[in-house]
């Protein structure tokens, strides 16, 4: 039987089982697409990553990212958590240039601090706004069970395609009781992964409260979502709202499902680049028996 070193990492938290769990297969060279998808379906986490030797000059490692149902070109918590796992395993070294290769391109990785306080940051791939029908706002409000949206929703490509809905304030985000079947149907119609909502939290140690729903991808509510954080950095920079909250801010996500994740977002307002990151903690460290032929 073939095996691989394996870690299950809790991402965007320093406290085990309070962030977003990620499975990391550290020796995936030679593993086929179907087997990777099989492993990801078996772990049944929002994402499972597979570490391979880089195929492009300048890359430190290659990462493939799978949900239980499909592969993603980029996702935030898998990138941050895999960086943590690779550092812990000694497969990459802090203090040297680190570049992640994935389907979205070559992405710089930055490490801050040491030990339990260490934070890993990844630069998101270029983010763009996608066209969306005007009726999507009404459809989203109905699916979310929201009285009204604070503004028209925006359809954003930050790796996955998210419909971002501004609910105005934190309380509206926290109290939301969405119709998951309606969200899945809407996401399917617009070819997106799901709907993410956000609201402002003045006076808190974080700027925004966020929730992300992607039942069509097999995840009813994602605990802490890096690609949504990156999309929000882009959207707030475009709207000029970073002038009031700052180009570096924190996001709170996951309390409604028993988590308490924290994502740090840094926006380079000159270039438009968005960096996301935070702490991670390893909860499982061992060996995985890989699928056979």
pLDDT tens digit string along 237-267? 999 999 999 999 999 999 999 999 999 999 9
Retrieve residue 152's tokens: 């028209």
Sign of the dihedral through C-alpha 154, 48, 254, 98: negative
Asked if residue 268 and residue 135 are part of one domain, the reply reads yes
Q: What is the mean pLDDT of the chain?
A: 96
| pLDDT at residue 292, as a whole number | 79
Q: What is the pTM of this model?
A: 0.95
CATH code assigned at 262:
3.10.310.10
- Assign 3-class secondary structure to 51-116: EECCCCCCCCEEEEEECCCCEECCCHHHHHHHHHHHHHCCCCCCCCCEEEEECCEEEEEEEECCHH
Q: Looking at the structure, do residues 79 and 192 belong to the same domain, yes or no?
A: no
The HSE-up count of residue 279 (CA atoms within 13 Å, CB side) is 17
Verify that 45 and 162 share a domain, yes or no.
no
pLDDT band at 55 (very low <50, low <70, confident <90, very high): very high
Number of domains in the chain: 2
Catalytic residues: 47
Distance between CA 224 and CA 282 in Å, rounded? 16
- Mean pLDDT over 131-142 rounds to 94
Q: Are residues 74 and 174 in the same domain?
A: no
Is the pLDDT at 285 greater than 70? The verdict is yes
In the prediction, which pLDDT does 5 show?
A: 98
Phi, then psi, of 242 in degrees rounded to 5: -65, -20
Mean pLDDT across the stretch 79-105? 97
What domain range is 267 assigned to? Answer: 128-272
Q: Give the per-residue pLDDT at 293.
A: 65
One domain for residues 147 and 103:
no
- Say yes or no: 63 and 162 in one domain: no
Please give the angle made by the CA atoms of 140, 143 and 144, to the nearest 5 degrees.
85
Q: Strand (E) positions, 182-235?
A: 194-200, 208-214, 219-222
Please give the pLDDT value at position 33: 97
Is the domain of 283 the same as that of 230?
no
């Amino acid at each position: 039987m073939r095996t691989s070193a394996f870690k299950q990492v809790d991402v965007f938290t320093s406290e085990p089982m309070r962030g977003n769990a990620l499975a990391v297969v550290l020796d995936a060279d030679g593993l086929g697409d179907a087997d990777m998808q099989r492993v990801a379906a078996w772990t049944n986490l929002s994402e499972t990553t597979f570490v391979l030797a880089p195929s492009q000059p300048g890359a430190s490692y290659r990462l493939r990212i799978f949900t239980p149902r499909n592969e993603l070109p980029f996702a935030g918590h898998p990138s941050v958590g895999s960086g943590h796992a690779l550092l812990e395993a000694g497969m990459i070294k802090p203090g040297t240039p680190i570049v992640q290769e994935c389907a979205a391109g070559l992405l710089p990785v930055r490490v801050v601090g040491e030990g339990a306080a260490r934070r890993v940051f990844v630069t998101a791939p270029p983010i763009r706004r996608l066209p969306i029908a005007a009726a999507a706002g009404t459809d989203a409000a109905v699916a979310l069970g929201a009285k009204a949206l604070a503004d028209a929703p925006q359809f954003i490509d930050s790796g996955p395609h998210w419909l971002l809905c501004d609910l105005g304030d934190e309380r509206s985000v926290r109290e939301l009781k969405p119709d998951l079947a309606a969200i899945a149907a809407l996401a399917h119609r617009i070819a997106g992964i799901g709907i993410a909502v956000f609201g402002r939290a003045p006076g808190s140690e974080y700027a925004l409260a966020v929730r992300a729903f992607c039942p069509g991808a097999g995840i009813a509510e994602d605990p802490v979502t890096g690609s949504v954080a990156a999309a929000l950095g882009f959207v707030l920079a475009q709207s000029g709202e970073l002038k009031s909250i700052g180009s570096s801010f924190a996001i709170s996500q996951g309390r409604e499902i028993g988590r308490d994740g924290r994502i740090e977002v840094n926006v380079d307002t000159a270039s438009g680049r968005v960096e996301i990151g935070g702490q991670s903690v390893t909860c499982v460290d061992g060996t995985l028996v890989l699928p056979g032929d």
